[in-house]
């Protein structure tokens, strides 16, 4: 094993690490007296995709018809 980095938040040895699907958060788990699971924001906040503004205010057809009974 080769030491890659030092996590100063744990008091015991880190046994496992995983990253989130978006790649911005790392979770680390320590053993011993610590027994903590910590989350690290390693690359800042993920960028939130913005939706383009539609040119027209589209309304679903028949959205406001309401209910009627057929006999």
Mean pLDDT of 54-60: 60
Quick one: residue 35, left, alpha or beta (phi over 0 = left, psi -120 to 50 = alpha)? left
Identify whether the C-beta of residue 13 lies closer than 8 Å to the C-beta of residue 30. yes
Counted domains in the chain: 1
Residue, of 40 and 69, whose pLDDT is higher = 40
Q: Does 38 have pLDDT greater than 50?
A: yes
Q: Does 44 have pLDDT greater than 80?
A: no
- Is 70 a domain residue? no
Q: What are phi and psi of 8, to 5 degrees?
A: -80, -5
Measured in residues, the chain has a length of 71
pLDDT the model gives residue 71: 47
Domain of residue 20 covers 8-44
22 SS3 class: coil
pTM of the predicted model, to two decimals?
0.52
- Is 29 a domain residue? yes
């Amino acid at each position: 094993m080769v030491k890659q980095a030092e996590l100063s938040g744990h008091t015991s040895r880190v046994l496992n690490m995983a990253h989130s699907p978006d790649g911005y958060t790392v979770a680390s788990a320590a053993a011993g007296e610590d027994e903590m699971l910590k989350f690290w924001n390693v690359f800042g906040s993920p960028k939130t995709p913005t939706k383009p503004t539609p040119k027209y205010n589209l309304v679903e057809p028949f959205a406001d018809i309401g209910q009627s009974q057929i006999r």
